[in-house]
Structure 1
Amino acid sequence: MSTRRVIVVGAGNAALCAALAARERGAEVLVLERADKTRRGGNTAFTAGAMRVAYNGVDDLRELMPDLTDDDAANTDFGSYTTENFLDDLARVTEYRTDPDLAGILVDQSYPTLSWMKDQGVKFMPIYGRQAFKVDGRFKFWGGLTVEVNGGGPGLVEYLTKAADREGIKIEYGARVVSLIHGDEGITGVTVSQDGVTRNEEADAVILASGGFQANTEWRTRYLGPSWDLAKVRGTMFNTGDGHKMALDIGASPTGNWSGCHAVGWERNAPEFGDLAVGDGFQKHSYPFGILVNAHGQRFVDEGADFRNYTYAKYGRRILEQPNQFAWQIFDQKVTHLLRDEYRIREVTKVTAPTLEALAGKLEGVDPDGFLAELQAYNAAVDTNTEFNPNVKDGRSTSGLPVNKTNWANTLDEGPFEAYQVTCGITFTFGGLRINKDAQVLDTDMNPMPGLYAAGELVGGIFYFNYPGGSGLTNGSVFGRIAGYHSADTARSPR
């Protein structure tokens, strides 16, 4: 029996998990990456490396993180995050539109997949810096997000690439796949352009893991709508929808939230595409402890609607809808110690002032009178009788405002005040290809397309409107692994 050949398009998290899984089942694997080696890794390289995973307690976490010491375990309340919790969060934030079968697989396979990744050499650690606060001398995690990759997204790319090298998987850089080769037997290979030369590569199966279409300005405007051409791209410039197009061109079924995306509050003066030197440092995610105002000086979202894990991916859209596509985040001294590390980087648009009146004159693009009137109304509306607690949804709210804040509402009255200007940063798009439980791409008649698989951001049907923080990488790993296994196993039998 001859060795079967699997081609993986892309070299990020989903792609490399697919490649490793296919190799584990005995396939010869070729990875084709559009970027050059210095810009490899797709969007994965730009993430902080958080991975949402279901676990029953600290013992499960210690299996994933064997370096976790007894002191760490004793001094930390990790709680639990069951499959029921994960599924409930996924369903709730997607407004119950997530595909139940794919969502169930994502949740159920989250822990086994991370355990498998650990065996591949990926090192995990607790997210102390971003997901835990100290309460009565112990760290307490919140929001169901506990695990991150050591070294963040770049670390994940490095671990998986090393594993691929170790397993004899060939990775070619600067190799842009431009089309799928197909016939009556299904997919039989790809056409690739590399160094100005176009060639065909034969394969028994092709796995598309080439990301979303967020770096394609024309597609963003076509599918997401007006003003999306003005959004910043948080990650790689290479995710332009190549995988979507080549599959749709031969009859693949589109599905999911094509007008939706993951978009966050992002440094106003960040470059057009992500900067690997800064990574995700341009994000500004401590807004639940302050307020956001637009050019009129008015608040426009409930900053405390939920833990930031469950709101940050949809609030970028709300910022883009504001006049001139920006907002300012405002904090006072009661909460500045809670601000995440990204607020302390050099590449930040920040102003400070001893009084609100002085701050009003420094907020570029903002009506100062409107801002001061808004702050006066906001401060008067805060329920100061309820205790502030950043670890739980504390119910410390406002009342009587056009947009009330439902948790973590503090008066803004202790200077000096700090303000940070943000715009919309798009992470990835939600619309994509339709797959079944084996990660096979389906055609418009809902039949599997022989030899074609997909994983990661170009799969549709899982995320709608929003997503629970950390579930994007887990999604890519889970379905990448499934695609790798099934493509190698199925290829052993004649189609």
Structure 2
Amino acid sequence: MLPWQYQCIILGTGNAALCTAISAVESGCDAARILIIDSCPPSWAGGNTFFTAAAYRTCHEGLSDLLSIVQKIETDEERLKRIDVEPYTKSQFMEDIFRLGSGKSNPALVSTLVEDSREIVGWLAHDVGVRFMLSTHRQAYDVGGRFKFWGGLVLTVPDGGKGLIHDLMKKVTDLGIRFKWETTATELYVEDSKHVRGVRVKNPDGSIETLKSRAVVLACGGFEANPQMRAEYLGDQWINAHVRGTPYNKGDGFKLVRDLPVNLRPDFVGDWGGCHSTCWDFNSSRDEGSRNLTNAYTKSGYPLGLMINALGKRYVDEGADFRNYTYAIYGKATLTQPGGFAFQVWDNKSRQKLRVEEYGDEVTTKVQASSVEELAELLEKEGLEDKQAFVATINEYNEAVETFNMECPNKTFDPSVKDGLGTQSSSKKLPIPKSNWAVKIQEPPFISVKITCGITFTFGGLPIDATTAGVKKGNKGEIIDGLFAAGEIVGDIFWGNYPGGSGLTAGAVFGRRAGREIGALVGQSEQ
């Protein structure tokens, strides 16, 4: 018997961590000698994954290519005849990441993510048991009696992140993999100043224990739930952001690597000033997501309406792109507004297209009025400082829409494509355009929802090898023996913005690769 008790210790219980564990067993590790550690109690299992919409972005060849992935209920012939899914190619996926990341993303990591994306959802569906379905409720609009998908996303899981964690945990539990809950890793255990061979932990009873292992995987998230680190790296205003997911992602993994011997210490890489944030319900908790409502606090219906700040002014182009490509940055845009909040506004016609899961009466508080002027009066109690400016903004917007329609009568509203229905005509231009889906706000009743910024995960992280997910030391590209990383703690993939659904895919891709490499290392070590 070799001197380590475990073949693999994994920190975290989200998508990346659980995929790593499953992959390690598939690759030859003994499930009884894999240990998953989390600082949270079992009731908070799942990390940020639990709070997601469980969308996986993958390249594919169209609907027929995905039918083997989704549940049988999705393959009803009559239903399929009404569904349109355009192929999403590898080049499109890569282009989306680089376009939204201003070309700064690590090419090797992006290439691996994209190349593995189709295979990983097949593995999750067929080998792991994840119950995929077509995301008609979030990613498709009914246009002329047909469900038309948009924004490059097609796949999700029943009951979102809750359902995904249920499926992953079932597989891990069935394999016999062990867990230690409410246990905090305090230090990486290093042998001969060269090899990571385990962790020191603080147990629930306060005792300190050294757990030896051939490999350690950091899959314990970023620092989004740590207000001090948010202020240090993102800016002081980020103290006021609402935590969208787990309160346990406090950046503990970064402290572990920061305390490594100098010869092993990795450089932190990627966009340490950036994060994924979204428009979030103002009335949500500031410090943690809701285990019940999870992703329902997201307020992503802004492409169908307007977003107006406390001074009565618009501050973003609500129709700049599909929601999948703007929501990760519009939370930040909202946080920088006076008071750190804003109002989303629709008329009766547009409100009918809002998703009930985000805007239902049991989910969010809506202000409703019979006129724009009355709406402004009511919103004054919610923090609107300039009622006249609010009314003027909507009136000016309506005028711009009307002028555009007169100049471009062939443009028609279609939320499933970037329809070009805008506000900028030769005779009238708004200071901030609405580039697509611009329709007049004119049919009562008018409604509004107060929003703020919900922070999801941070972009800066650890450098990893694109093939093995091994953590690199220094800036020389050498891999630290025995240390791996996957999920939100990995840096240099997303910069500034990201295409929705690619985070879960990345976590699964690099988690699976880490598990494979660990299986190979264990096989070599224990021959």
Report TM bin, short chain: over 0.9
Q: Residues 294-346 of structure 1, C-alpha deviation per residue, up to 9 Å, x if partnerless?
A: 01100010000000000000000000000000000000122111101211142
RMSD: 1.4
1:116 paired residue number:
123
For residue 443 of structure 2, the aligned residue among 402, 414, 419 is 414
**Displacement of 1:468 after TM fit?**
0.5
**Displacement of 1:122 after TM fit?**
0.8
**Displacement of 1:169 after TM fit?**
0.9
Extract structure 1 runs of 4+ deviating beyond 4 A: 1-4
Residue 389 of structure 1 pairs with residue 414 of structure 2: yes
Whole-angstrom CA distance in 2 between matches of 1:289 and 1:231? 24
Q: Structure 2, unaligned stretches of length 5 or more?
A: none
1:219 paired residue number:
229
1:192 paired residue number:
201
TM-score (norm 2): 0.92
Q: Quick check: 1:260–1:431 contact (8 Å CA) kept in 2?
A: yes
Residue 167 of structure 1 pairs with residue 193 of structure 2: no
Q: Quick check: 2:11–2:220 contact (8 Å CA) kept in 1?
A: yes
Q: Quick check: 1:4–1:492 contact (8 Å CA) kept in 2?
A: no
**Displacement of 1:99 after TM fit?**
0.8
Q: Which amino acid aligns with 1:158?
A: H
TM-score (norm 1): 0.98
| Count of equivalent residues | 495
Q: Quick check: 2:13–2:47 contact (8 Å CA) kept in 1?
A: yes
**Displacement of 1:262 after TM fit?**
0.2
% identical aligned pairs: 43
1:238 paired residue number:
248
Whole-angstrom CA distance in 1 between matches of 2:521 and 2:190? 17
Matches within 5 A, 1:61-460: 61-67=66-72, 68-69=74-75, 70-118=77-125, 119-184=127-192, 185-195=194-204, 196-250=206-260, 251-272=265-286, 273-341=288-356, 342-363=358-379, 364-366=382-384, 367-382=386-401, 383-384=404-405, 385=409, 386-399=411-424, 400-437=429-466, 438-446=468-476, 447-460=478-491
Q: Quick check: 1:268–1:349 contact (8 Å CA) kept in 2?
A: no
- Structure 2 vs 1, CA of residues 351 and 50 (structure 1 numbering), >3 Å: closer, same or farther? same
Q: Structure 1, unaligned stretches of length 5 or more?
A: none
Q: Partner of 1:259: helix, strand, or coil? A: coil
Q: Residues 246-296 of structure 1, C-alpha deviation per residue, up to 9 Å, x if partnerless?
A: 012211221000000000000111102101111011110010010000011
**Displacement of 1:151 after TM fit?**
2.3
**Displacement of 1:494 after TM fit?**
5.0
**Displacement of 1:173 after TM fit?**
1.5
Q: Quick check: 2:34–2:177 contact (8 Å CA) kept in 1?
A: yes
**Displacement of 1:66 after TM fit?**
4.5
Q: Residues 128-177 of structure 1, C-alpha deviation per residue, up to 9 Å, x if partnerless?
A: 11111122322111111000012211111111111111112112211221
Q: Which amino acid aligns with 1:357?
A: E
Residue 485 of structure 1 pairs with residue 516 of structure 2: yes
**Displacement of 1:492 after TM fit?**
3.2
Q: Residues 394-430 of structure 1, C-alpha deviation per residue, up to 9 Å, x if partnerless?
A: 1111121110110011111111101010000000000
Of stretches 1-10 and 310-319 in structure 1, the one that deviates more from structure 2 is 1-10
Of stretches 220-229 and 50-59 in structure 1, the one that deviates more from structure 2 is 50-59
Whole-angstrom CA distance in 2 between matches of 1:171 and 1:26? 19
**Displacement of 1:4 after TM fit?**
6.5
Of stretches 340-349 and 146-155 in structure 1, the one that deviates more from structure 2 is 340-349
Q: Quick check: 1:248–1:254 contact (8 Å CA) kept in 2?
A: no
Of stretches 193-202 and 254-263 in structure 1, the one that deviates more from structure 2 is 193-202
Q: Quick check: 2:486–2:511 contact (8 Å CA) kept in 1?
A: yes
Q: Residues 4-25 of structure 1, C-alpha deviation per residue, up to 9 Å, x if partnerless?
A: 7011100110000000111111
Q: Partner of 1:493: helix, strand, or coil? A: helix
- Structure 2 vs 1, CA of residues 4 and 360 (structure 1 numbering), >3 Å: closer, same or farther? closer
Q: Which amino acid aligns with 1:358?
A: E
